[in-house]
Amino acid sequence: MAEAIRFLLGEEERALAGVSPTMTVLDYLRTCERRTGTKEGCAEGDCGACTVVLSEPDDAGGLRHFSVNSCIQFVPTLHGRKLTTVEDLAPSGADLHPVQAALVARHGSQCGFCTPGFVMQLYAGWLEGRLGGRQEVKDWLAGNLCRCTGYGPIVEAALDAGSVAADRAGDAETAARLRGLAAEGMLRLAADGQAWFAPESVDELARLYAAHPEAVLVSGATDVGLWVTKLHRRLGTLIDLGRVAELRTIEEGPSSLRIGATATHRAAAGALARLHPDLGELLRRFASIQIRNAGTVGGNIANGSPIGDLPPAFIALGATLHLRRGDARRDLPLEDFFLDYGRQDRQPGEFVEAVTVPRPGPSSRFACYKLSKRFDQDISAVMAAFRVEMAEGAIRSARLAFGGMAGTPKRAPAAEAALVGARPGAG
């Protein structure tokens, strides 16, 4: 069992014990490491000024690199990972990284406050090879705000940097180092009157949560992080689901898609788009790359928000939720999980294990729509999803689901009944 947070800061190894489990990565960088290039703009994961890049071992012996908002990430989530900040890109101060050099050449900075966040988000895109086209760059930067320069020079700089191939020659060696740092098993921390547990198997999680049903479950911290930074809540016991590999699985079957509770929105986006293109477009508009890299499908369901984007779409498709408490498992239709505002059908010690979404068949028609004040990086004012089954040109059955219209995601049974027998497009 590990009792210290072990990670790489750039190329340097760190081992932290005695830090508050709910200290944010941003606060750690600025107050403990004096790395002040990472900025706090909003403290809620909206502006991108605090963007950093995390790296973790993948299944092929290399690394998966991804950007996150450090203002809402807790320090214990760094365990077994590499943290890269803007200070790491040109440590000597002489040779700028291609992303930095492109921003300088294109005059992509004015006041400079947001620039480190843009640099790190573009660095993540450079590593992933995601800076190849203008629209791709705009989508990539949807979670980074600039209030003075304007985005034109930044987009041009991104395209310039994207023409330079990324160097990932050291990934395998770094991956081996990271595996060694996290080789002691479950992480357990106790400090500042708080406790943090990070189990590594679903059985370990089930036993732990049964013993600590009062604990707050956390994975991407895109919601729980705001409890700390905005509501100033003091959390007692937290259980981190992010190291439970079984909960991250995504299984694409011939008749359904099963998504593990801690699969991130980014990880699930491809499978959801293959299920139906409208789901892919919905995920494109879901928050930002940084949030989609951290936020999870199960979290979007379990937090019970009436304006969550995925629940209405999944309800319209007839999704089933899989829950576990100790050794006991149960399934229920997703719409039955939401009881009232702030109340879900989840018993003490019970957690969401996965969700199964049926594939629309040849006789199905499905569509979903998100209405919001902004196209990018905005919560839904109304989310609507519709599925109808057709037979001989008439609607045989209908499922209409809405978010933002009540205290929970809800179906519209009267409208569904009224549609049965209707012939779309007829006179």
Query: What are 65's two structure tokens?
Result: 């690199």
Q: Which band of pLDDT confidence, cut at 50, 70 and 90, is reported for residue 371?
A: very high
- Tell me the mean pLDDT in the region 77-86: 98
- Tell me the mean pLDDT in the region 53-63: 97
Per residue in 29-41, pLDDT tens?
999 999 999 999 9
Q: Which band of pLDDT confidence, cut at 50, 70 and 90, is reported for residue 133?
A: very high
Query: What are 263's two structure tokens?
Result: 């699969």
- Tell me the mean pLDDT in the region 96-105: 97
Provide the edge-to-edge strand list for the sheet that holds 364-371: 364-371, 382-391, 394-403, 410-411
Query: What pLDDT shows up at residue 91?
Result: 85
- Tell me the mean pLDDT in the region 60-81: 98
Region for residue 297 given its phi and psi (left: phi exceeds 0; alpha: psi -120 to 50; beta: otherwise): alpha
CA atoms within 13 A on the CB side of 403: 27
Burial status of residue 302 (CB atoms within 10 A of its CB: 0-12, 13-18, 19 or more): buried
Cα(123)–Cα(100) distance, integer angstroms: 9
Query: What pLDDT shows up at residue 37?
Result: 97
- Collapsing DSSP to helix, strand or coil, 319 comes out as coil
Whether the model clears a pTM of 0.85, i.e. scores above it, the answer is yes
Q: Nearest-5° angle of CA 135, CA 265, CA 322?
A: 155
Domains in the chain, start-ordered, CATH in brackets? Answer: 1-184 (3.10.20.30), 249-419 (3.30.465.10)
Per residue in 188-237, pLDDT tens?
999 999 999 999 999 999 999 999 999 999 999 999 999 999 999 999 99
Q: Nearest-5° angle of CA 9, CA 162, CA 266?
A: 65
- Tell me the mean pLDDT in the region 161-179: 95
The pLDDT of residue 377 is above 90: no
Cα(75)–Cα(57) distance, integer angstroms: 18
Lowest mean pLDDT among 207-211, 367-371, 423-427: 423-427
Provide DSSP, 21-62: TT-BHHHIIIIIS--TTS--SSSSSSS-TTEEEEEEE-TTSS
The pLDDT of residue 379 is above 90: no
Q: Which band of pLDDT confidence, cut at 50, 70 and 90, is reported for residue 43?
A: very high
Beta-bridge mates of residue 257: 252, 357
The pLDDT of residue 427 is above 70: no
Mention every residue, 6+ apart, whose C-beta is less than 8 A from residue 218: 74, 224, 238, 239, 240, 241, 242
Query: What pLDDT shows up at residue 237?
Result: 98
Query: What pLDDT shows up at residue 374?
Result: 85
Query: What are 208's two structure tokens?
Result: 């732990």
Query: What pLDDT shows up at residue 280?
Result: 96
CB 354 within 8 A of CB 302: no
For the chain, the distance separating the N- and C-terminal CA atoms, rounded to the nearest angstrom, is 70
Query: What pLDDT shows up at residue 148?
Result: 87
Per residue in 263-310, pLDDT tens?
999 999 999 999 999 999 999 999 999 999 999 999 999 999 999 999
Cα(304)–Cα(344) distance, integer angstroms: 7
Per residue in 324-338, pLDDT tens?
999 999 999 999 999
Parallel/antiparallel/unpaired status of strands 237-240 and 216-218: parallel
How high does pLDDT run on average in the chain? 96
